Amino acid sequence: MCCHLPASQLAVAKGNAMSNRWWTYQKERFPLVAHGPLIAAFSSSAVCFSALLRGSVRLPAAGSLLVAFLTAIIFFVQLRIADEFKDFEDDSRYRPYRPVPRGLVQLSELGWIGAAGALIQLLLALLLHLALGWILLGVWIYLSLMSKEFFVAHWIKRRPITYLWTHMLIMPLIDFYATACDWAPTQSWLPRGLFWFLIISFFNGTVVEIGRKIRAPEDEETGVSTYTALWGRPRAIFTWLGALLASATIACLAAREIHFLLPVRALLVSLWTLAACLGWQFLRKHTSQAAHRIEAFSGVWTLCLYLCLGVVPLLIQTLCH
């Protein structure tokens, strides 16, 4: 005996199925619980660092913080979507368990989400300050070039270092947009010292990118380019530690611009020492657990560094005044 649901219940059921599959996609490919706090620290610290450079002792306007955060999180969603398009053939061949190859979501659907995100970004930019629209356009252009692998896909994929730095350049561009959410509406010119903060975002992005692609031997997959597979474990670890050291050095230069050098230097020396211990542990045992610690630490490093270069010092300044 067949059971027919009323049209209203069928619509509800379809709606639940739709929301469930997007929730699953989010958990697998862009977990908001993990990425949300990091992007919030990234965007808010960019706004606060710009305010500190301007000599402000007050918290930035809520609108600047909100536009920076929402635009940044959409940028990172768009980067994930671009990866889905770029990697579709390889994912279908080597990673059929991922959401797009297994049919959970379609590339066309992701494309519409990326386009809708761009419209939201444009509206937010124009609401805050017209000049942000031009900066937004610049980030879009570079993101589009990345999505096409700069039209030299086979050449660039054979050169891991070139691939890494060309793709990490998107980070200073997003960071520049986030800082502009502060300085563009207030003074319309770049604060002196902003350059160091933009360079930090490049190295922090490198830290996270290398850290997430350090794998234990049993976790390596055919067709997946990890840095441990490409370079071997020792070189991958030393490169990761080098990126951390570069990030720390530039962070100290940025901290000097806002008169917060001693706390930042003390924190980063402690964190880098811990990173060296984690790297040594991985080289000795190279287990999945040791590799996951490196990936997790990369996120912790980035979170702490951004907070100490923007949110924390500005809060201290505000409380003192």
pLDDT for residue 18: 64
Cα–Cα distance, 127 to 71 (Å, whole number): 12
pLDDT for residue 4: 52
pLDDT for residue 90: 87
For the domain covering 34-320, report its CATH number: 1.10.600
For 58-199, list the strands marked E by DSSP.
Answer: none
pLDDT for residue 182: 95
pLDDT for residue 3: 47
Contacts of 240 (CB under 8 A, 6+ apart): 207, 210, 211, 214, 227, 275, 279, 294, 298
By the 10 Å C-beta count (0-12 exposed, 13-18 middle, 19+ buried), 149 is classed as middle
Residue environment code for 3-28, b if the CB has 16+ CB neighbours within 10 A, otherwise e: eeeeeeeeeeeeeeeeeeeeeebbee
pLDDT for residue 205: 95
Mean pLDDT by 10 residues, the chain (321 residues): 47 57 93 91 95 91 96 97 92 91 94 97 96 96 94 89 94 97 87 94 96 94 88 96 97 96 96 97 94 96 95 91 73
By the 10 Å C-beta count (0-12 exposed, 13-18 middle, 19+ buried), 161 is classed as exposed
Cα–Cα distance, 104 to 313 (Å, whole number): 44
- Indicate the residue type of 117: G
Q: What is the pTM of this model?
A: 0.91
Q: What is the DSSP string of 74-94?
A: HHHHHHHHHHHHHTHHHHHHH
